[in-house]
Every structure is written in structure tokens, then in C-alpha cells.
Amino acid sequence: MASTSFQSLLERRSVSLAKSLSHSEVLTTHVLVVIAESAETIDQASVAAYRQALPKRGTFYKTPAISEAAANLISACADADNCAKILTDNPPAASTTKEQTGSVLVAEAVEEDTESETAAKSARPNGKAAIQSNRTVLEILAELDQLIGLSNVKKQLRKVVAVVEANRVRQENNEKAVAQSLHLVFTGNPGTGKTTVARLVAEMYGATGAIKGTKFRETTRADLVARYVGHTAQQTTQVINSVRPGVLFIDEAYSLNPSHNGDFAEEAIATLVKQMEDHRSELAVIVAGYNTPMDEFVKSNPGLRSRFQTFIHFDDYTDSELVEIYRQFANEAAIDLADGVTDVVSAAIQSARSKDDFGNARFARALWEQTYANMAMRAHQDGVVSPDELKRVEPADVPKPDGSAREVRRKIGFAQRGE
């Protein structure tokens, strides 16, 4: 699509941003955020404003397609001067939904599905760069307790909070606090709640005073590593500055392991380690990924090894927990489940679990969405849809076990784009 290396980088980072938020399509809002974060003259408040225009976290699991409007915006950004003009023509306040006359920005739908990491009903943050919260520690822990499963995670996080609170009490009584790292390593398979819990951790740190703020930002390798010599340190520093004071969450952090890529990932790690040291009171870093690769990642750099002391493993959900997550989706929609529905759901989960792309809570969400689609189709069969027909799911509405988690996603309209 993009003809120049500059445009190719812009395209790649825009796709990465959309993918990190589980969006099915790259919109102009994604491209504007990337342009703003790359610009040397724009202030952090403006960058944050562009990020506020991003859609809520979605439920798409593959590489997003690039919308025509986003493609046009990328094509127009041939160099730094063009990009600066694009930002001038599309200020943050205008970057939400409506087309501006004479501007590259066009109308795009920004509504996306709710979060996919877990199924708990809550008023949890929606993936924006900053979390605004006035909740107490007890309120945050109460939400944590309401999450289905995650018993090991809940236990370890309570220990982290206990240490932070103990240090606060000691300092209030003019006693020395015991040094404790706020940086965490989350390990586990996809769909086990790592991102959702990371957001709660950001709130906890702010509520306890461990960090004087509750900003939260999800990022990936593409956000930190540049393509040219000397750019990665600046790019990584920009990302870190945008989240201070708060929590930086790096998903699939093992992709930064220099042994896996012949680029500037080592420079990104070195910058990250330095920033973690320089801003200990303002920055907590949570890295996440599969067990073995994350262990290798932390061991790849002595600075990482010394700063990441707490590892928290996220177990896969059990079949009964996933059924409960499915049931919770139905409860949130005020839809009843007829007798036999949970048996069919359980069979579908058991069938899908053996597949490599099994998504835990994400699969439960996809299964629920397909169930609802089937129920809607059943209600439409006679040409007249009554409210009563949309109040109860029948066993026949649940997709039958076919041995493929991917099939469930395809049926609910997730186009099969490139991985």
C-alpha cells in the first residue's frame, strides 16, 4: 500500500496500534495517533487528546484491515512536512468521527465492541491512555474479586498491595519504607485477563499512593522500536513520557528480545531499563506474554533481571469458569438461558480447547456473540420479531462443537484477513 519507507513505517505502526486494541480496521484515528506520537513539535497533551478519540477496545483477533480513509491519510503523509500539515488540518478535537471539508479526515464508525480480556461485569477502563479513577483500594480489590477464576492472580496481587500499604503506613510514621519493585511480569495464554488486571493494578498503585497518578497505556514492540539508528531511544522515551505517572503495559514483551530480531530492540530495552530507574516513583512497567519466552526475555538483560522481581502466572480458565463467563455475558444482556444451553456451551468449549488458537475468555465471548446472532436469525424467520423472542437463548442457538475455535469467529463476521 505505502510506497515509501516512511509511509511503510507509518502503516505498520498504525496496524500495530489497531491490533493492540483488538480493532478490526485501521481508522484515521489510529493513523493520527501514530503521526502525533512521531512528531517532534507536538506536546504530550495533544498526543493524549488524539488517543482519546480512539474507539473502545474491540474483540477482533487477527491483523486488522486498513480502511480506505486511513490508506489515503497514510499516502498523504509522504514526509515530515506533510505529516505536520495533516495534524494542523485535523486537530485533536476534530479527530473523532465527522469529516472536515478540505481535510483528509473522513467519516468513520468508531463504535467497537467492549473489552475481550475477561467477562466480568464492571465499570472498568476502556483502553484509553489514561484511567481516571477516584476509587478506593477496597473498591478496586472488590472488582478484582468479582472477576471469574484467577485465584492465584488475586492472591499475589493482594500481597503486592499489602506491601505497598505497609510502606505507606511506615512512611506516615516517619519510619523507613522497605524497597519494593512495582514492576510486574504477567505470564499466561491469551484471553486469561492479563490486560484487564494490568488496568486494575494501575488504579491500585494510584489509590495507594505508590504512584502519583493512574495513567495506563498498552503498547507493543512496534510502538517502541524504530527502523533507523538513533530513533528507537527517542521513540521509547516518548511512549514512557506519555504514561507518566502511571503504568506502561507491554504485551508480548518477549518480541523485544534482541536474539529474535536483527534490529534495534536492544536499544529499546536499554532505554526502558534506564527510564525505569530514573522514574521509579512515577513509572511501573508490566510486561506480559507466554511463560518460557517471558522468562528468556527477563534474563536477556541484567537490568531487566534486577527490576522484575514479581512474576504472576495467569492460569487458563477451567471449562466451568468459561461457562460462567458465557452465562455472565447473557446476564449482562438480561437474556435467559433455557435448559440445556450450558451443556452445549460446555461441549463447544471442550472441543475448542484442544486447538492451538484457543482464546479462553475470548472464545467464550465469540461463542456468546454467535449465539446471539443465531437467536436473532431464529426470531426473524417468520418476518416479525417480538421482544419475547429475544429474551431467551435456546440450545439450538449455540454453535455446535465443530472442533474449531476459529470457525466460531468466522461465523460471527470476523473476516479472514492476514495473520
**Which CATH number fits the domain that encloses residue 324?**
1.10.8.60
Claim to verify: residue 286 and residue 324 sit in the same structural domain: no
Spatial contact of 311 and 289, defined as CB atoms under 8 Å apart? no
Distance of CA 316 to the CA centre of its chain: 18
Claim to verify: residue 290 and residue 370 sit in the same structural domain: no
Listed as own residue / partner, the contacts of 176-180 with beta carbons closer than 8 Å and 24 or more positions apart are none
Q: What is the DSSP string of 169-234?
A: HHHHTT-PPPP----EEEEE-TTSSHHHHHHHHHHHHHHHTSSS--EEEEE-HHHH--SSTTHHHH
Spatial contact of 273 and 303, defined as CB atoms under 8 Å apart? yes
pLDDT of residue 81: 79
Region of residue 172 (left: phi > 0; alpha: psi -120 to 50; beta: else): alpha
In a domain? residue 131 = no
Number of domains in the chain: 3
Query: Last residue of some domain: 247, 280, 314?
Result: 314
Tell me how far apart the alpha carbons of residues 358 and 189 are, in angstroms, rounded to a whole number. Answer: 9
In a domain? residue 242 = yes
- Give the contacts of 305 (CB within 8 A, at least 6 positions apart): 298, 299
**How much is the pTM?**
0.63
DSSP H or E run through 347: helix 341-353
Q: What is the DSSP string of 61-83?
A: -SPPEEPHHHHHHHHH--SHHHH
Quick check: helix, strand or coil at residue 94?
helix
- Specify the pairing of strand 283-289 against strand 65-66: unpaired
Claim to verify: residue 359 and residue 279 sit in the same structural domain: no
What DSSP designation does 119 have?
-
pLDDT of residue 262: 56
Query: Last residue of some domain: 271, 291, 314?
Result: 314
pLDDT 10s per residue in the chain (419 long)? Answer: 444 667 877 888 888 788 777 788 899 998 998 888 777 667 777 777 888 888 877 666 567 889 988 898 988 888 777 888 888 888 876 444 433 323 333 333 333 333 333 333 333 333 334 454 567 888 888 889 889 999 999 999 998 888 888 888 888 888 887 878 899 999 999 899 999 999 999 999 988 888 888 889 998 888 888 777 778 888 888 899 988 889 999 988 888 886 555 568 888 888 899 998 888 888 999 999 998 999 988 988 888 888 898 999 999 999 999 999 999 999 988 999 999 999 999 999 998 988 877 889 999 999 999 999 999 988 888 777 778 888 899 999 998 875 433 344 444 333 333 33
Spatial contact of 351 and 400, defined as CB atoms under 8 Å apart? no
Q: Which domain holds residue 352?
A: 319-411
Phi–psi pair at 398, nearest 5 degrees: -80, 130
Tell me how far apart the alpha carbons of residues 54 and 362 are, in angstroms, rounded to a whole number. Answer: 21
Claim to verify: residue 234 and residue 186 sit in the same structural domain: yes
Q: Buried b / exposed e across 145-161, counting CB within 10 Å, b at 16+?
A: eebbbbeebbebbeebb
Tell me how far apart the alpha carbons of residues 89 and 329 are, in angstroms, rounded to a whole number. Answer: 41
Rounded alpha-carbon distances, angstroms, from residue 58 to 21, 23, 194 = 6, 5, 16
pLDDT of residue 115: 36
In a domain? residue 169 = yes
Tell me how far apart the alpha carbons of residues 243 and 282 are, in angstroms, rounded to a whole number. Answer: 9
Listed as own residue / partner, the contacts of 273-281 with beta carbons closer than 8 Å and 24 or more positions apart are 273/301, 273/303, 273/304, 273/307, 274/303, 275/236, 275/237, 275/240, 276/183, 276/303, 276/307, 277/303, 277/307, 279/240, 279/244, 281/211, 281/212, 281/245
- Helices and strands (H and E) in the chain: how many: 17, 9
Spatial contact of 262 and 225, defined as CB atoms under 8 Å apart? no
Rounded alpha-carbon distances, angstroms, from residue 354 to 293, 318, 351, 402, 404 = 21, 13, 6, 12, 9
What are residue 246's DSSP bridge partners?
Answer: 215, 283
Claim to verify: residue 276 and residue 307 sit in the same structural domain: yes
In a domain? residue 106 = no
Claim to verify: residue 15 and residue 60 sit in the same structural domain: yes
Claim to verify: residue 309 and residue 401 sit in the same structural domain: no
Claim to verify: residue 230 and residue 372 sit in the same structural domain: no
Tell me how far apart the alpha carbons of residues 190 and 363 are, in angstroms, rounded to a whole number. Answer: 10
Query: Last residue of some domain: 314, 343, 365?
Result: 314
Spatial contact of 289 and 187, defined as CB atoms under 8 Å apart? yes
- Locate cell 419475547: which residue? 388
In a domain? residue 161 = yes
Claim to verify: residue 206 and residue 223 sit in the same structural domain: yes
In a domain? residue 108 = no
Neighbours of 194 (CB within 10 A): 23
Quick check: helix, strand or coil at residue 312?
strand
Claim to verify: residue 350 and residue 278 sit in the same structural domain: no
HSE at residue 152, side-chain half, CA atoms within 13 A, is 13
Claim to verify: residue 302 and residue 336 sit in the same structural domain: no
Q: Buried b / exposed e across 283-296, counting CB within 10 Å, b at 16+?
A: bbbbbbbeeebbee
Claim to verify: residue 280 and residue 294 sit in the same structural domain: yes
In a domain? residue 153 = yes
**Which CATH number fits the domain that encloses residue 155?**
3.40.50.300
In a domain? residue 130 = no
Quick check: helix, strand or coil at residue 289?
strand
